[in-house]
């Protein structure tokens, strides 16, 4: 087993790519939400229906996710962009402990930095209660509904990703499938929980907003849902069918994971 300094020295570019990826995702989320939800934005008046605005935000974030997964950085790091995804692949034995810890730290750091940068650029607009740093909080249905909803959408995302990314004929479409699910979840599920699926994404918003309402939901439900999905996949298909921790593997970039494609 490699020593910690050696692993970090060899794999630090992937860590930075993960940080940058979630940072860019947060920038996109803040900018798009501000354009559509900030009361003084021309787009807010143009699209008066809240459901329509939510659908447009979903489409924009779905495209953002697709772009990040298929970007050169996403192809190399695996484009987890989410501690729950990384820890699930750790449970599946596809990523080493040092890399998993480093990915999680990078994701939290990148999300915070991305939102800080966009708040400096946008200013008061992103602080407005209608935007509020795109914070995720439970909807009117309550904490229990938000927890179940977060767990279910996280379960669905991870199960579909495992099915598609571990089928060699479908692997190249993993990013498109992930983006489509993100778009659909924001359009349909967001009123229940705010649609996070990502502890680092929720933390990045809660920190500047100083709003930690039911934050435990966003720390626990996504991980529980994704771990359950991994358990279902392994029981049905077997652990040997989990080939790699990259969401998109059909590329020529290096792979730092315990990769079945090399075999």
Average pLDDT in the 130-152 region? 97
Greatest Cα pair distance in the chain? 58
Q: Residue 134's pLDDT band (boundaries 50, 70, 90)?
A: very high
**Contact of 66 with 181, CB cutoff 8 Å:** no
Helix (H, G, I), strand (E, B) or coil at 242: coil
Q: What is the pLDDT of residues 163-191, one digit of tens each?
A: 999 988 898 999 999 999 999 999 999 99
**Contact of 244 with 255, CB cutoff 8 Å:** yes
- What is the number of alpha carbons within 13 Å of residue 103 lying toward its C-beta? 28
**Contacts for 160 with CB less than 8 Å, ≥ 6 apart:** 177, 181
Note the pLDDT of residue 263.
58
Q: What is the pLDDT of residues 85-110, one digit of tens each?
A: 999 999 999 999 999 999 999 999 99
Q: What is the pLDDT of residues 231-243, one digit of tens each?
A: 999 999 999 999 9
**Contact of 103 with 90, CB cutoff 8 Å:** no
Q: Quick check: 3 pLDDT over 80?
A: no
Average pLDDT in the 138-153 region? 97
CA 236 to chain centre: 25
**Contacts for 38 with CB less than 8 Å, ≥ 6 apart:** 44, 125, 128, 130, 131
Tell me what the pLDDT averaged over the chain comes to. Answer: 94
Residue with tokens 């349909």, as numbered in its chain:
188
Q: Residue 2's pLDDT band (boundaries 50, 70, 90)?
A: low
- For the entire predicted model, the pTM comes to 0.95
27-36: b (≥16 Cβ within 10 Å) or e: bbbbbbbbbb
Spell out the domains of the chain, with CATH numbers in brackets.
Answer: 4-241 (1.20.1080.10)
Q: What is the CB neighbour count within 10 angstroms for residue 144? A: 10
Cα 8 from Cα 85, distance rounded (Å) = 20
């Amino acid at each position: 087993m490699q020593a910690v300094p050696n692993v970090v020295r060899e794999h630090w570019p992937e860590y930075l790519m993960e940080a940058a990826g979630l940072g860019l995702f947060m920038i996109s989320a803040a900018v798009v939400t501000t354009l559509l939800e900030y009361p003084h934005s021309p787009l807010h008046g143009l699209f008066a229906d809240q459901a329509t605005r939510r659908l447009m935000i979903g489409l924009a974030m779905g495209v953002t996710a697709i772009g990040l997964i298929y970007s050169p950085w996403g192809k190399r790091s695996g484009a987890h962009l989410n501690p729950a995804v990384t820890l699930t692949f750790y449970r599946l034995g596809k990523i080493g402990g040092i890399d998993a810890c480093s990915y999680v730290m990078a994701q939290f750091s990148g999300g915070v930095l991305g939102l800080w940068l966009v708040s400096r650029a946008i200013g008061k607009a992103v602080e407005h209660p209608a935007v509020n740093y795109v914070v995720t909080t439970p909807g009117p249905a309550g904490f229990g509904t938000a927890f179940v909803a977060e767990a279910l959408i996280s379960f669905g995302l991870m199960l579909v990703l495992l099915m598609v990314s571990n089928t060699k004929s479908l692997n190249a479409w993993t990013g498109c499938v992930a983006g489509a699910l993100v778009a659909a979840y924001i359009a349909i599920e967001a009123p229940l929980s705010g649609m996070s699926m990502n502890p680092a994404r929720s933390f990045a918003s809660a920190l500047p907003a100083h709003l930690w309402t039911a934050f435990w939901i966003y720390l626990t439900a996504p991980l529980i849902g994704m771990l359950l999905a991994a358990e279902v996949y392994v029981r049905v298909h077997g652990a040997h069918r989990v080939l790699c921790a990259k969401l998109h593997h059909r590329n020529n970039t290096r792979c730092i994971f315990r990769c079945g494609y090399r075999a």
